[in-house]
Amino acid sequence: MKTDTDIRDNRAGEGVAQGPRHVAIIMDGNGRWAQARGRPRLFGHHAGARRVREVVECCPGLGIRYLTIFAFSTENWKRTQTEVAGLMSLFRRYISKEMKALAAKNVRVRFIGDRVRLDRKLIDLMDALELETEENTGTQLTIALNYGGRDEVARATKRLARDVSDGKLDPADVDEETLPKYLDTCVLPDPDLVVRTSGEARISNFLLWQSAYAEYEFIDTLWPDFTAKELEILCQNYGARDRRFGTVKT
Ligand code: IPE
Ligand code: IPE
Ligand code: MG
């Protein structure tokens, strides 16, 4: 991945009074949304995928430069084969269909997560979308697919250990600045605001390292009902928060 020069924020005292620059969303509740309508869970996933475009498109107006969305976790493989296969097919279709729209809107897309378990066709589409949007300077959209925070830290540690054994890294130099360089998110700033829809107040293995000082919003709306308007309200709430990063205001 190329490095993004415009990433060093998230330090105490910066950008506090404004809206969030990096919003990360745990898009939850698709299954319950479908169940409430007497439909199969995949119906909810399709409705959820259709919500993404509006949310991506409202980002520039809200001052959100980075949007990260959780699409599939390393734990979601435990679902039925029908649901997993349906989701993988939905991802393939979503990428093929949205490729042009995202490119036209100057959105840059990146994927995080472990690709090894994904099928070749999906990986090729992910690569193509990343390449197609590589020069785009607008909203930086990151899609977490087969992503788990613990898995990411384990994979990062493996790479870091390899650099140590190859003599490229001195263990004495490993600190809070070094480790994130090995994470999937190495070119992204930490999220300022993490939103989870559907009423569950948990993180479910999302951006564990990166969200150490994020603000959180757990809202009852099921993801297929989420709107740009709601995101705007969350951004306003964020603006009223006092991020102290462990310091005391004098
Ligand atoms: C989130 O919706 C999408 C994925 C995890 C892929 P869910 O499928 O978890 O929906 P609920 O939580 O069962 O309602
Ligand atoms: C988290 O939702 C993963 C995604 C939104 C992709 P889950 O529905 O899988 O999380 P749990 O199982 O309720 O913790
Ligand atoms: Mg869920």
Helices (H) and strands (E) in the chain, counts: 6, 6
Q: What is the mean pLDDT of residues 191-217?
A: 98
**Number of residues that make up the chain:** 250
Dihedral (Cα; 120, 149, 19, 8), 10-degree rounding: -90
- pLDDT tens digits, 3-13: 444 443 433 33
27 Cβ inside 6 Å of ligand 1: yes
pLDDT grade, residue 250 (50/70/90)?
confident
Cα 135 to chain centroid, rounded: 20
Q: What is the mean pLDDT of residues 141-168?
A: 98
Which CATH superfamily groups domain 18-150+189-239? Decaprenyl diphosphate synthase-like (3.40.1180.10)
- Here the tokens at position 242 are 């006092």
| Mutational pocket test of ligand 1: of 25, 27, 28, 75, the residue with most ligand atoms within 8 Å of the beta carbon | 28
Determine the Cα–Cα distance for residues 242 and 15; give it in Å rounded to an integer. Answer: 11
Determine the Cα–Cα distance for residues 21 and 23; give it in Å rounded to an integer. Answer: 7
